Amino acid sequence: MKRLGYLFYFSILFLLITLLFITNNVFAETELSEKYMTLQDQQGKLITCTVHQIVVGDEYLDSQNNLYRVVKLHNNTAIVKLVRKEKLTASTLSELKDLWSYFINGEFLKGETKVKGPIAIYHTHSDESYIPGDGTSSKFGHGGIFQVGDSLTNAFEKSGIPVVHSKTPHDPHDAMAYDRSRRTAVQLLKRQPTTLLDVHRDAVPPQLYSDVIRNQGVTKVQLVVGRQNPNFQANNDFAKRIKETCDRKYPGFIKGIFYGKGKYNQDLGPRSILLEFGSDTNSKTAAERGAQIFAAAAKDVLYGNRGAGFINRGSMRSLFWIIAALVAGVGLFFLINRGSFKNFGKELTGAMGEGENKKTEEGPLADDKAKENDHSHQKN
């Protein structure tokens, strides 16, 4: 039995060490912009390039709303197949409901919107900069990304939308940067914002983000949604709604939606999103113009009532999955520990019976329960 125990510990340590080694053996602060991957379809057509670590099964929604899934990896090339063409538009029923609430709330008659919280902007990677403009891709504590945030702020404010722009630095650019920016995000949440935006830039070849709008060079915008996130469905629907709204005004301006592996603090609210304004190889001026275009195109969904029904459905789906995961997790835990669902059922009815007794004889049984808890600690 003792040998089994040692084997168990050894396995856990082995797992931990393996985990350490499968992570990138580079310091997190260094960005390897030259090491990007090319996504192409089975006919060899270029879909996009990314510095994202790609694994089979990853998905990418391009500017034309084609959802691709990675099926094969070969060196720096990921072969993708088209899963489906996504329909980003909300259903007619949802649009009618939005319109109905618009009339019912009296906003149409009053000609003004209700007082809402501001749009909150922060930068997890406060060092991110643009080589053409800042001279470097990373400036410790005061990256060029702050000016892109300023540009976004000014554009919203010009439309009469209040903004809180936090320039709190979260350097160094390591794995704990999101833990530090989480504190800034929570501070911003105390201002009851309508939307929480984490503004970044990417690190891929410039042509992937270059665009021309109104005869001026601008950078496109990529939206990032975290998959390891209890709010995934709601955040994803929010991202789709932003894309759909921008597509109506500037088709192709939203480069796509990338589904990343973390949660990027998006678990803090259904209306939080990560935005990437261009790449480190695009000019900062173009990124600033991109921010203005984005603010003008997306303000209705970021601040207005537009899309409330759509996001609501995402929240309901998230709610369903959270509860389903919870029930499945608890079920599995009891199944492993109690041997069968029959025993689990017995325990459950026993516990409920105890609960009823507890109401009548709370004193002595509560003491017993406390002692039982003490005993269960022995298992530690």
Partner 1 sequence: MTGIILLILVSLLIFFGMAHRVLDRLYLSDRGGLIFIGAMIVGSFIDIPLSRMPIISVNIGGAVLPLILAIYVLVRAGSVKEWIRSIIGIVLTTGVLYGVNKLYSFDTSRGFIEPQYLWAIIAGVIAYVAGRSRRLAFVIATIGVLAMDIVHILEVRGTNVPTMIGGGGVFDTMVIAAVLAVLLAEMIGESREALQGGPSNDRPEELKEALDHPEGTTNSDTWEHNGKEREK
Indicate the residue among 27 and 109 with the shorter CB distance to partner 1.
27
Alpha helices in the chain (DSSP H): 2-22, 92-104, 107-110, 131-134, 145-158, 177-189, 232-249, 284-303, 308-338, 341-360, 362-377
> Strands 272-279 and 195-202, how do they pair?
parallel
Q: Give the Å distances, CA to CA, from 208 to 49, 50, 78, 253, 254.
A: 7, 9, 17, 11, 11
- State in angstroms the smallest separation of the CB of 182 from partner 1: 5
Question: What is the DSSP track for 242-286?
Answer: HHHHHHHHSTT-EEEEEEESS-TTGGG-TTEEEEEEEETTS-HHH
In angstroms, give the least distance from the CB of 133 to partner 1. Answer: 21
User: From the CB of 216, what's the least distance to partner 1, in Å?
Assistant: 27
* 3-class DSSP assignment, residue 32: coil
Q: Of 169 and 304, which has the nearer Cβ to partner 1?
A: 169
Separation of CA 47 from chain center: 22
| SS3 labels along 178-198 | HHHHHHHHHHHHCCCCCEEEE
Instruction: Take residue 111 and report the two structure tokens written for it.
Output: 């000609």
Among residues 172 and 290, whose Cβ is nearest to partner 1? 172
Q: What is the closest distance, in whole angstroms, from the C-beta atom of residue 75 to partner 1 in the complex?
A: 18
Instruction: Between 215 and 380, name the residue whose CB sits nearer to partner 1.
Output: 380
Instruction: Work out how close the CB of 92 gets to partner 1 at its nearest, in angstroms, rounded to a whole number.
Output: 19
**Minimum distance between the CB of residue 72 and partner 1, rounded to whole angstroms?**
19
Cβ proximity to partner 1, 12 vs 351, nearer residue? 12
Give whole-number Cα distances, 58 to 67, 69, 99, 236, 283, in Å: 10, 6, 36, 15, 29
Residue 8: CB minimum distance to partner 1, A: 6
Shortest Å distance, C-beta 280 to partner 1: 12
Rounded Cα distance, 271 and 198, in Å? 11
Q: Between 271 and 284, whose beta carbon lies closer to partner 1? A: 271
Q: Which two tokens stand for residue 321?
A: 């999955």
- Which of 337/349 has CB closer to partner 1? 337
The answer to whether the beta carbons of residues 125 and 145 sit under 8 Å apart is: yes
Nearest approach in angstroms of CB 232 to partner 1 is: 11
Q: Are 150 and 287 in contact (CB under 8 A)?
A: no
Question: How many CA within 13 A on the CB side of residue 92?
Answer: 0
Question: Could you tell me the sign of the dihedral formed by the alpha carbons of 182, 285, 287, 79, in that order?
Answer: negative
- Residue among 155 and 235 whose Cβ is closer to partner 1: 235
Question: Tokens at residue 255, please?
Answer: 């480069």
77-85 and 119-122 as β-strands: parallel, antiparallel, unpaired? Answer: unpaired
Q: Sign of the C-alpha dihedral, residues 259, 262, 265, 266? A: positive
For residue 57, the minimal CB distance to partner 1 (Å) is 12
